[in-house]
Chain A
């Protein structure tokens, strides 16, 4: 990371920040995508993350890698975004669902595709419920495709710790998905059953 660029960006130079952020831009986009799973949401969330990075540049003390700091800010921003969206959806759909309204599937496709999207959506929701350290390790190694060494550097921890966090995250994820499957079947199954009854 260029110290001079950072200094200029801190003093309010937007062009310097653009240059600096170009290095971490793909990371921000991918993380936002992994958390939201939708293009528009990822874009909104990514913009919000970039603005937050710009506003918080003064709080970056250089005690960890810039990439790591950006990742953490982006992940927190994504979680805030998901919480907000969930709250808004609950508020807007609650009165309609009480009246028996079943929202249509927004992403049409073959049954396989629908099933896959549904499953990925559940996995994303389960990832959002993981403890912060486990979530970071899992997203970076399993979704971002980074090695344990790279992940350890980004998270400022040891490789062994990253491995153990990933294993714990997987176990917890499996547990969460299992519980959810027992409690409610996927929405497309519900819809199919509804169609069959008609």
Chain B
């Protein structure tokens, strides 16, 4: 039944189509005259337009077009470069894989905390801004300054102790000197007594030998005194200028001092820096291009579509 209906439908359609085909009226004369007049008018207009520019503006449009054609590649290249560079600079902080990595910030913060001797075993939890890094470095500076003060204080304490011991040693030396002086007095007395008593040479000699022994004792006290003096001199200015050996080995804490103490960069390293920057920029450019690729493809498709439609219509 259904097939019969379909056949009937088709036959009905075919009949209608046949009727339509045979129902075409003869082409009216007005139609022929109409389009011919229209074409002639159009041809006359075209001829006028073709003649007029030759007389009025000779070669001007052609020159303009050729100039445009000459500049077109340059302008399009410049526009493409501008797009690339501007896009890269604008999206650098967002798209660059290098700047998106948190370890970069940690690597800036960690060495300073280590230098300050602070016990930071856990890394700073990915500071997102430079402020966090700066705060951490300031904190490390404070810790380092405190430890420096403590070291200076300890050094000055040691110096005081040395001074006291030197002072004690000098006192001992004084005592020895006095005793020696007393002995020499005794020697004089003995000498006088010996000379006065008999004038015997042996006795005098013996007495003088005794006196010499006493003088040796007195001379032995001098090195102790000298050593004490030297120690006192060394320890006296320790609070202001003495630098402990350990601290001398440690690097400076303040970044500005560190920077000041760094040697000025050599030309080679400057060249390397420039190369690295260029490489980073190219990397960012690649990231930008990769991100912009879908949009660029979309735009290209759109342009292609427009071009095809225009071509088809034309």
* Chain A residues with CB under 8 A of B9: 174, 178
> A68 within 8 Å of B by Cβ?
no
Q: In the bound complex, how far is the Cα of B43 from the Cα of A18, in angstroms?
A: 12
> B314 within 8 Å of A by Cβ?
yes
Interface readout for A15-29 with B: 1 if CB under 8 Å, 0 if not? 001100100011001
* Chain A residues with CB under 8 A of B16: 119-120, 123
Interface-forming stretch among B31-39, B86-94, B105-113?
B31-39
- By beta carbon, the residue of chain B nearest A123 is B16
Interface centre among A26, A29, A116 (most CB of B within 10 A): A29
Size category of the A interface is: 35 or more
> A56 within 8 Å of B by Cβ?
yes
Residues of B contacting A: mostly: helix
Interface readout for A59-84 with B: 1 if CB under 8 Å, 0 if not? 10000000000000000000000000
> B125 within 8 Å of A by Cβ?
no
| B10 in contact with A51 (CB, 8 Å) | no
Task: Decide yes or no: A51 and B27 within 8 Å by CB, A120-B20, A123-B17 being known contacts.
Answer: no
Size category of the B interface is: 20 to 34
> B40 within 8 Å of A by Cβ?
yes
Interface readout for B131-143 with A: 1 if CB under 8 Å, 0 if not? 0000000000000
* Chain A residues with CB under 8 A of B34: 43, 47
Query: Can you name 19 extra interface pairs (CB under 8 A) apart from A14-B42, A47-B35?
Result: A25-B32, A30-B24, A33-B25, A34-B20, A39-B28, A42-B31, A43-B28, A43-B34, A50-B38, A51-B39, A54-B42, A56-B314, A119-B16, A120-B19, A120-B23, A142-B21, A143-B21, A145-B21, A174-B9
B→A interface (CB under 8 Å): 6, 9-10, 13-14, 16-21, 23-25, 27-28, 30-32, 34-36, 38-40, 42-43, 46-47, 50, 314
A→B interface (CB under 8 Å): 12-14, 17-18, 21, 25-26, 29-30, 33-34, 39, 42-43, 46-47, 50-51, 54-56, 59, 116, 119-120, 123-124, 138, 142-145, 170, 173-174, 177-178
